[in-house]
Structure 1
Amino acid sequence: MAGGVPVEARPEVRINPSDVGKRVSVRRVDGVADGRPVFRDVIGVLTAWDDDALTVESRGGVSVRFAAELLVAGKSVPPFPARHTSMPDMTPTGLQRTAARGWPAVEQQPLGDWVLRASSGFTRRANSVQALGDPGLPLAEALDRVRDWYAARGLPAHVEVVDGASPPDLAAELDRSGARLAPTTVRTARLGGLTRAAAPDSWRQVRLARTADREWLSRYRRVGDDPALEAAAHAVLHGGPSVWFAHVPGPDGAPLAIGRMAVDGAWAGLSAIEVVPAARRRGLATTLMAVLAARAAEEGATAAYLQVETDNHGAQALYDRRGFTTSHTYHYARLPQR
């Protein structure tokens, strides 16, 4: 057994607390049978090493925590090799609902098939009505309900209008109301292509975590000093199924690049991919997406989606190079005040 030997003195242990956030393969003592130690192996993300104990989150999403004295072997390993698979079938309606689960609003209320969403103003996605299907009311009356609901919360009324999925006469009704439109593109790609896009060994730079720490949030430009906004941002960012945060630490430990992912069945939603200006054009965004895509594939996903403003030409060009294609577009329409 390894209990009497310091971790750093065990020749087969080639990881330490600085490897938190990496994918690792570890072997530990897991009991004794017939007077001999029983060993167990696990491969996954090393999510913690504190108080002389390690936590590894396995491929199946199970967290395994054990004392450091039981560690007999460990090393960092490359990301999961995503297979080349076909794109899963998904309609614009289905993909928009998947995206809503991956970026869940703090407050939600149905209006027929529509969903009213509010999060103290943190992002339009979490503070707009998702207008899919029938609101159960004449459109003019439904939009009045929308306006009143957001006014009661001190928020502007935004409507998410999805091309080919929202009511066909909704856009005309919004035009009559004088709403202003802002277009967004939904893009999709196979995970296998994303994982292979990064440079060899560049994955060693990336750290994964289940929560966004203060350093990660400091690089995320949409969080300000308003306590209500910060609380809403924390809830939205950490909501959704199987959320991961990635970052590339700089020389001072502060992130040079960040990203977020929510895995939901066959789909992995990528968001908050940001690189500090001084570190751009080094392939960091590509590397972040590759590592996140590999983790999503390890959890059974096969494709990624992301949402990007149509006029963000720099981001659109990056996603073009990474093999993303356009699934559909939608618009945020801001209803004028009465």
Structure 2
Amino acid sequence: MLRRQDVGHRVVVRRIVGVSQNRTLYTDALGELVDLTETDLTIATTKGTVRVPLTEVHRAKRVPPARRPPAADVIALELAANDAWPAPTQGRLGSWILRAAGNWTGRANSALAVGDPDRPLEAAVDAVVEWYSAHGQPALINAPMPLAAPVNAALDARGWGARPLTLVQTAAVPALLTAVPKKDLPAVELADDPGDDWYAMVAEHKGALPATAIGILTGPAEVAFAQVRDAGGRLLAVGRGAVTGPDRWLGISLLQTAPTARRQGLAQHVLRALVQWGAQHGSSRAYLQVEERNTGAVALYGRVGFTTHHTYLTREAPAG
């Protein structure tokens, strides 16, 4: 049977689906184990998320991962993403990066567990807890999978919780420009610094934006804020792009559409404009981060060619 240590890994589950002529019927599900509770397990498959009651599980085991990127590529992309979302307070624990930003977003307030923490793993986790305690924040660890599988196993043993699985998806910039259609919509404006209504639309999704949030959003040296307005000047859609890292990765984030303007292709419209901007700034690869449970967004990105490069779990220290 599977254990908490298997969360984030590729598994196969044989599920009991019924009985016919005194014979038990089964179906198999293959994918990444997203969650495991006392009553259910959840698998992210190529066809979507599947939740299986444990009472229906006949057999389940971990299987070898599908083709995985080299560890160096995962680390390089995670470091580029860190530069694109720069926490104002950062520290080092060997190669791990400790980040704090007044609790605005998990990425900017978690320890990035990549590379060697320069001490035994148990001591590294203790040091993370101490650092966040000194900064008046709960301890979080961002654990890319399967690279940080030993970290996740250690945190499981210590009773740490996990936020929903996040997919880090990538696509080639030239392929995106081919795949994302041009649309007859109001022009996308790109600004170096967004206006108040841009921030207000983001706040509807991300919560109130403290000063630390503004610093994160405007922090990268090369960043663009996209916006689409109707003829009356009303904001319809927004997005953000940042080019960082020696590999010139283009990070796409905060693609949002006003509720009254959805299903018009505005998200793809903004995405295309940001990809064009990235190409002009020397980017050949783009990435974005999306929660696996956000099936609508995952489907949208899949249609234009984004595929999962790796995943990560944000782990939470137990209360008290």
- TM-score bucket of the superposed structures, by smaller chain: 0.7 to 0.9
Residue pairs, 1:93-108, within 5 angstroms: 93-108=75-90
Alpha-carbon distance in structure 2 between the residues aligned to 1:321 and 1:143: 39
Alpha-carbon distance in structure 2 between the residues aligned to 1:191 and 1:146: 36
Q: Are residue 161 (structure 1) and residue 143 (structure 2) matched?
A: yes
Tell whether the 8 Å contact from 1:104 to 1:126 is kept in structure 2 after alignment: yes
Distance apart, 1:105 and its partner CA: 0.6
Change (3 A) 1:95 1:142: same
Distance apart, 1:196 and its partner CA: 3.4
Letter of the aligned partner of 2:218 in structure 1?
Answer: H
Partner of 2:213: 233
Alpha-carbon distance in structure 1 between the residues aligned to 2:168 and 2:182: 29
Alpha-carbon distance in structure 1 between the residues aligned to 2:99 and 2:271: 28
Alpha-carbon distance in structure 2 between the residues aligned to 1:252 and 1:148: 52
Q: Are residue 171 (structure 1) and residue 135 (structure 2) matched?
A: no
Partner of 1:248: 228
Partner of 2:36: none
Tell whether the 8 Å contact from 2:110 to 2:140 is kept in structure 1 after alignment: yes
Letter of the aligned partner of 2:270 in structure 1?
Answer: L
Letter of the aligned partner of 1:235 in structure 2?
Answer: G
Change (3 A) 1:262 1:187: same
Partner of 2:94: 112
> Structure 2 unaligned runs (5+)?
1-70
> Structure 1 unaligned runs (5+)?
1-88
Alpha-carbon distance in structure 2 between the residues aligned to 1:90 and 1:204: 41
Q: Which SS does the other structure have where 1:288 is aligned?
A: helix
Highest CA radius of gyration, 1 or 2? 1
Partner of 2:316: 334
How many corresponding residue pairs? 246
Alpha-carbon distance in structure 2 between the residues aligned to 1:208 and 1:195: 17
Distance apart, 1:286 and its partner CA: 0.2
Tell whether the 8 Å contact from 2:228 to 2:236 is kept in structure 1 after alignment: yes
Alpha-carbon distance in structure 2 between the residues aligned to 1:231 and 1:131: 26
Change (3 A) 1:327 1:224: closer
Alpha-carbon distance in structure 1 between the residues aligned to 2:217 and 2:252: 12
Distance apart, 1:142 and its partner CA: 1.4
Partner of 1:127: 109
Distance apart, 1:90 and its partner CA: 6.9
Summarize deviations over 1:256-292 as a string: whole Å, max 9, x none: 1100000124320000011112111100000101011
Q: Are residue 187 (structure 1) and residue 176 (structure 2) matched?
A: no
Alpha-carbon distance in structure 2 between the residues aligned to 1:251 and 1:155: 44
Alpha-carbon distance in structure 2 between the residues aligned to 1:211 and 1:270: 16
Letter of the aligned partner of 1:155 in structure 2?
Answer: Q
TM-score (norm 1): 0.69
Letter of the aligned partner of 2:97 in structure 1?
Answer: V
Alpha-carbon distance in structure 2 between the residues aligned to 1:163 and 1:199: 33
Q: Which SS does the other structure have where 1:301 is aligned?
A: coil
Structure 1 outlier segments of 4+, above 4 Å: 222-225
Distance apart, 1:152 and its partner CA: 2.3
Partner of 1:138: 120
Letter of the aligned partner of 2:85 in structure 1?
Answer: W
Q: Which SS does the other structure have where 2:77 is aligned?
A: helix
TM-score (norm 2): 0.73
Task: Identify which of 193, 206, 213 aligns with 1:211.
Answer: 193
Q: Are residue 258 (structure 1) and residue 238 (structure 2) matched?
A: yes
Partner of 1:51: none
Letter of the aligned partner of 1:163 in structure 2?
Answer: M
Distance apart, 1:251 and its partner CA: 4.2
Q: Which SS does the other structure have where 1:126 is aligned?
A: helix
Tell whether the 8 Å contact from 1:266 to 1:302 is kept in structure 2 after alignment: yes
Q: Which SS does the other structure have where 1:196 is aligned?
A: helix
Distance apart, 1:310 and its partner CA: 1.0
Tell whether the 8 Å contact from 2:241 to 2:274 is kept in structure 1 after alignment: yes
Tell whether the 8 Å contact from 2:186 to 2:228 is kept in structure 1 after alignment: no
Residue pairs, 1:51-90, within 5 angstroms: none
Q: Are residue 305 (structure 1) and residue 273 (structure 2) matched?
A: no
Partner of 1:286: 268
Change (3 A) 1:222 1:230: farther
Alpha-carbon distance in structure 2 between the residues aligned to 1:200 and 1:290: 8
Tell whether the 8 Å contact from 2:160 to 2:315 is kept in structure 1 after alignment: yes
Partner of 1:150: 132
Partner of 2:52: none
Q: Please report the RMSD computed on the Cα atoms of aligned residues, expressed in angstroms.
A: 1.9
Change (3 A) 1:223 1:326: closer
Aligned-pair identity in percent equals 39
